[in-house]
């Protein structure tokens, strides 16, 4: 009877051990995502979501399978943090519409002139002041946590993703890769330093020799331009 009782308690003991030994990893994953979020999003909320993801992973982990716990947990931690961001409506419909409008305007000017337009030219085309345009660009960085495809229902690879969801995610990433070569070199540099090298805005600003606020604006412009290119490619494929 004692042996049976001990076996029944064993999963809880193992679960708690997994959680305790991976708390720092869950926190690092959560904070890595938080670095790409606007300042008004509480880092503590994202860390708490990551811890819940870790707990869920420890509860669901099957010790009898030959799957390492770490990659199993990382996917669930990341999925839990992204779910928390989606619940907070990280990019409302108005911002998505703004991104499409700005991106399409830049794209149209580039086609007409053959070169990347200045902020002043884009602002005039949009019928707003340069300050208003740059403020709008700063607001567009909210999209950076989600997928960069142009659909309202972003295909995000999350917890227990189905084959269909994984396929949709791969398709969305393929669209992003196809659109990237059409961006201006500076926009590509900002995205690369921010996403690939995982530098902060201040660090990217130091590398490029501009202000942190300007990097935020350039980031928003790159996102808007990327979405416009994706939408344009989809339109060409459908025609």
For the segment 40-80, what is each residue's pLDDT rounded down to a tens digit?
Answer: 677 888 899 999 999 999 988 887 778 889 999 998 998 88
CATH assignment, 93-238: 1.20.140
Q: 53-62, 84-93, 132-141 — which one is most confidently predicted on average?
A: 53-62
Angle of helix 2-34 relative to helix 69-87, nearest 10 degrees?
A: 60
CATH code given to domain 2-87: 1.10.1740.10
Residue 92 banded pLDDT, cuts 50, 70, 90: low
In three-state secondary structure terms, 5 is helix
Between 218 and 33, name the one with better pLDDT.
218
Break the chain into its structural domains and give their ranges: 2-87, 93-238
The reply to whether 93-238 shares the fold of 2-87 is: no
- Number of H helices and number of E strands within the chain? 10, 0
For the CA atoms of the chain, what is the radius of gyration?
Answer: 21
């Amino acid at each position: 009877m004692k042996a049976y009782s001990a076996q029944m308690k064993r999963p809880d003991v193992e679960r708690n051990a997994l959680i305790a030994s991976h708390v720092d990893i869950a926190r690092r994953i959560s904070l890595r995502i938080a670095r790409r979020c606007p300042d008004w999003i509480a880092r503590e909320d994202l860390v708490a979501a990551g811890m819940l993801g870790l707990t869920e992973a420890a509860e669901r982990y099957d010790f009898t399978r030959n799957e390492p716990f770490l990659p199993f947990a990382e996917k669930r931690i990341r999925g839990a943090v992204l779910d928390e961001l989606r619940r907070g409506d990280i990019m409302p419909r108005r911002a998505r519409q703004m991104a499409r409008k700005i991106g399409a305007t830049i794209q149209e000017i580039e086609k007409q002139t053959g070169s990347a337009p200045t902020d002043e030219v884009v602002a005039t085309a949009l019928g707003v002041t340069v300050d208003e345009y740059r403020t709008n660009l700063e607001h567009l960085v909210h999209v950076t946590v989600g997928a960069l495809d142009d659909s309202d229902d972003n295909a995000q690879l999350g917890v227990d993703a189905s084959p269909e969801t994984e396929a949709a995610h791969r398709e969305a990433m393929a669209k992003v890769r196809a659109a990237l070569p059409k961006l201006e070199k500076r926009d590509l540099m900002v995205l690369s330093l921010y996403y690939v090298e995982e530098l902060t805005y201040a660090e990217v600003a130091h590398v490029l020799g501009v202000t942190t606020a300007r990097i935020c604006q350039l980031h928003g412009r790159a996102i808007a331009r990327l979405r416009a290119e994706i939408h344009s490619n989809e339109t060409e494929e459908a025609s």
